[in-house]
Structures are given as C-alpha cells and as structure tokens.
Amino acid sequence: MKIALINENSQAAKNSIIYESLTKVVEPMGHEVYNYGMFGAEDPNSLTYVQNGILAAVLLNSKAADYVITGCGTGEGAMLACNSFPNVVCGHVVDPSDAFMFSQINDGNAIALPFAKGFGWGAELNLQYIFEKLFDGESGQGYPKERAIPMEKNRKILNEVKKVTHVDLVTILKNLDQELVKGALSGAKFKEYFYANCQCDKIRAAVAEIVGE
C-alpha cells in the first residue's frame, strides 16, 4: 500500500515526528510512505487544510496513493476538506480505538488527526498505536463482527450517494480557483512522487496543465 502523509501550515513543525511514527509502524508491514510535506514551519510551500483536501483527492483519485494520513490543529477542518471530494472517505481519528473502528466499520481511505489539541506528552506513542490499529489486518471486517454485513451494505450506499453528490475530480480541479489548486500541488516532492505513481491519464493531464508541465 502507498500511504501519503500531508501536513498543513499550522502543524508543519511536527511533520518529522508524524513521519517517523508512521514509517516505524507501517514499513515493517510492507507499506510505502510518501511524505508530501509540509516539511517544517519554514517550508516555503505552505498548505492550508483546504489544500490538504485537494491534494488528498488528487492522490487518491489518481491512485498515486492508496491511503492518506493528514490533519490540522483539531483534525476537524482537514476531515471536512477531504470529505468534500469524490472517492475520499476520511475519518476523524483521535485515539487507537477510533482508528480500529474506522478501519473495520467505515473502511475509508484517509484519516485526519488532531496535531495540536491533546498533542502533548507521549504524543508519538499515541500516533504509533493509532497507526498500528489502523493498518492491523484486513479492513472492513466489521465491528462487532456480527454487524459486518449491514456495515458493508451501508458503505456501498454511501459510495453510491457520493457518486450523485460529486462531479468527477477533473471537472472540480478546473472549476476551483487555480492558484488555490496550484498551491496545493506545489510541494517540493509532489512532482517526483505524483508522476511516478499516478495511474489516471486524465488526472495526470489536468495536474500537468495546472502546475505548468
């Protein structure tokens, strides 16, 4: 699995802590981590939590990433921004039980974490435990187990609803403020990672036009 990490400007200084906690847990499982930044408080390629949502949508819809780890001060804004887009199912995760239940019940493809609220002593341990529960075994198996079938049915219903309530991502990217989108796709590692992993020619072409390739 290709896992993308995205930080916004208010919590960019914690990128290395989050990245180290994530890689420590998931790389032994065989997953790859792609750090899209921000890479620190002084990173010139600044992202807002709204741009986190744009970037997450581009990566997931193009299959340049299979999963996105993001967040903001409370995690709420990043979660709302991500869920504004098609084919992104983002959960707000605070602790390991949230991570486990989101994985098993909702079977989403992104989480938004609070990187300021409650982020104190032992924060890196909480992150590690969250990532362990999030990626432990096969997702979507239900919790409790006897609820697995109705939970799967509800996930499919939600996915069908999102197909009606969202237009395709290329249309969205073209209709959004182009400077906002360009800023979301201007990270130091974006081009290197995105073009190497993108599996959708239409999204690749739209991105290339926006970033000036």
Residue 2 φ then ψ, to 5°: -95, 120
The Cα 108–Cα 132 span in angstroms is 16
* Model pLDDT for residues 108-159, shown as the tens digit of each residue: 999 999 999 999 999 999 999 999 999 999 999 999 999 999 999 999 999 9
* Model pLDDT for residues 77-88, shown as the tens digit of each residue: 999 999 999 999
Phi-psi map region of 122: left, alpha, beta (phi>0 left; psi -120 to 50 alpha)? left
Residue 31 φ then ψ, to 5°: -85, 155
Residue indicated by tokens 């949502």: 53
**Per-domain boundaries in the chain:** 2-211
Q: Say yes or no to pLDDT of 166 above 90.
A: yes
pLDDT in the model for residue 213:
72
The CB density around residue 51, as the number of other CB atoms within 10 Å, is 23
Helix axes 201-211, 49-61, angle to 10 degrees: 140
The Cα 1–Cα 106 span in angstroms is 18
Interior/surface letters 5-27, b for 16+ CB within 10 angstroms, e for the rest? bbbbbbbbbbbeebbebbbebbe
The Cα 130–Cα 96 span in angstroms is 4
- For 104, which DSSP code? I
* Portion of the chain with pLDDT greater than 90, in percent: 99
* Model pLDDT for residues 25-71, shown as the tens digit of each residue: 999 999 999 999 999 999 999 999 999 999 999 999 999 999 999 99
- Beta carbons within 8 Å of 145's beta carbon, 6+ residues apart: none
Instruction: Write down the pTM of the prediction.
Output: 0.96
Q: Say yes or no to pLDDT of 9 above 80.
A: yes
Q: Say yes or no to pLDDT of 212 above 90.
A: no
Q: What is the CATH number of domain 2-211?
A: 3.40.1400.10
Selection from 45, 54, 57 nearest residue 12 by Cα = 45
